Structures are given as structure tokens and as C-alpha cells.
Amino acid sequence: MHAATVSRFGGPEAVEITEVPVPVPGPGQVRIKVAAAALNPVDAAMRSGVFGGAGERIGLGWDVAGVIDAVGPGVEQVPGDRVIGLSTGHHTPLGTHAEYVVLDTEAVAPAPARLDDVHAATLPLNTLSAAQSLDILALRPGQGLLVTGAAGAVGAHAVELAHLQGLGVTALASPADEEFLRSRGAERFLPRGERPAPGGWDGVLDAAGLGAEALAAVRDGGAYVGLWPGREPSPERGVRVGALDVRADAARLAELSRLADRGEVLARVAATHPLAEAAEAHARLAEGGLRGRIVLVP
């Protein structure tokens, strides 16, 4: 089968389509025939060597939507089940940008019935990232949350989920995104480039990676969470500072899939590319300005 991998670090040109064996599921695992797989910034980071692994062949892709076609011992799911899943790890030889992928059952959940595979494939990494970031913040209903980079994939899902949790959400993004973000649950809006009021929020989910500027917007004793471990600012003023290390969670992903079925979580697709054009898809991602994810289709 074919898979997108890198054996050297670099720009989009480093992505190779290679021939690899079809994986075999072990105990507690399922094999998914990939129908669609989203391309995320973490894939670009892996390709460029941010997470190391020099000298290895590294598989790309974390998100997947498809159909189970084989199961290992001790698995309740059956071939034919339509699922979404999350493959985590920075140095795995095979990711989801492939024709088949094997995942632990704890990483797999039923796909939303109302979404096609291309849209469903955008959900696992981005919705789990938003949900688990909100868990780290641990805000209470009625408290105020600022989401930077709110129009991005993680940021927009954070706005949706925080609104459902009863938080007062302020979205920081491009002025062109204000109407969209208010429709997803933002009560207040800040245009990008406007400095947030110091100490104005109980918590900040810093999807834009503003760092110290975003931290300054948190009240004394509040909470801050960033999306890239190691890049978060140093704590100050009693503010709890955390960074997301996203993990697979089948039960939570199933809950998020149900929210997508009800339209409370919106899947956004910017473009699709055949798997064979993975390098071109990476080049488009590098240009920026996307609203929604690029999705690869084997």
C-alpha cells in the first residue's frame, strides 16, 4: 500500500509517497481502510524535524476517517463499522496518511452519521485538542474565557465547546471571522492586532501562540493553556500555566462525534487532495490563511 512519509527533514518537498506493507492489527487493535485523513500543523512540524527522529522513516498523519476492515483479538468492533480515530506519536513508521492504518480501540470512535468522511476526518485531533485544553483550564460556568486564534480549527472548536460549558467566550481573530465566531458561541469579539485588556479574563486558551501577551490577559490567579508544550510563558501572578499534550480518548471522541451529529461542533474543510499529492497539500498548508483543514483522500 502507499503512505506519506519522510526520511529527511525539510519543506513540503521532503514528503514522499512510499510503498509499505499493509499493517496487521494486534490485540486490542483495529485496522481502518482510510477514506480520508486531515493534514494538520503537527504534520508540518514532524516533516520539518521539530520533534526529532533524524535517520528514521516517519509516517505522517494523525486524523483518520474510514471503515474498520480487520480486528485483532479481544476487539468488540466489527469489520464494516464506520469510524474516526486519532493516531498520536511523533516517531511512528506509519501514520494515517496512508491507505490503511492500525489503531488501538481506545483511539477510535463511531463517525458522525450526518458527515461525510472528508468532513469527519477533520474532527479527532482538533476537537480533542480543544476539549482537553478546556479541561486543563478547569473554568466554571459563568467565568470568562479568551480564545486567541479563534478562527482556526482548534480555536473555533474551543469557542463551541466553551459556549456549551456555559463560559463567557471572547474570540480574538481576524475581523472577517467575527460573524462566524459569534454564530459558534462567542459573546464578545476582539479583532486581531488589538491588545487584550490586561487581567480581563479568568482563563485564556492561546491557540494563536501569543505567549506572554496572552498570559497578560489572564487575571491574577487565573489559568492559561497553550497548544505547544515547551513554548508556554513562565507563570506569574499566581496564574496556572499549562500546555496541551493531546491524547487519544475513545469515549471523549464519541461524545464529540455526537456533538458534530447535532451540529454543535462544525467540521470545516478548506480543500481536498489525493494522497499522491501530499507534498502539494503541505505546500498549501505552508501558505497559511486557511479556514478549515486540508484533507487527503487515498
pLDDT tens for 49-65 read 999 888 899 999 999 99
Pairing type for strands 82-86 and 108-110 reads: antiparallel
Residue 257 exposure: Cα atoms within 13 Å on the Cβ side = 26
Q: What local confidence, expressed as pLDDT, does residue 295 receive?
A: 98
Task: Look at residue 40 and tell me whether its pLDDT is greater than 90.
Answer: yes
Q: Of the candidates 249, 145, 253, 248, which has an alpha carbon nearest to the alpha carbon of residue 206?
A: 145
Task: Look at residue 90 and tell me whether its pLDDT is greater than 90.
Answer: no
Query: What one-character DSSP code corresponds to residue 98?
Result: B
Q: What local confidence, expressed as pLDDT, does residue 91 receive?
A: 81
Q: Domains of the chain (ranges plus CATH)?
A: 2-122+268-297 (3.90.180.10), 126-243 (3.40.50.720)
Rounded to two decimals, the pTM is 0.96
58-59, strands of its sheet edge to edge: 16-19, 2-6, 58-59
Mean pLDDT of 178-195: 97
User: pLDDT tens digits for 97-137?
Assistant: 999 999 999 999 999 999 999 999 999 999 999 999 999 99
Query: Angle at which helices 278-287 and 41-48 pack, to 10 degrees?
Result: 110
Residues β-bridged to residue 147:
171, 205
Instruction: Judge contact between 42 and 78, C-beta under 8 A.
Output: no
Length, in residues, of the chain = 298
Grid cell in block for residue 269: 474543510
Tell me the three-class secondary structure of 189-220, residue by residue: EEECCCCCCCCCEEEEEECCCCCHHHHHCEEE
Grid cell in block for residue 197: 485588556
Instruction: Judge contact between 60 and 5, C-beta under 8 A.
Output: yes
Please tell me the distance from the alpha carbon of residue 129 to that of residue 163, in angstroms, as a whole number: 16
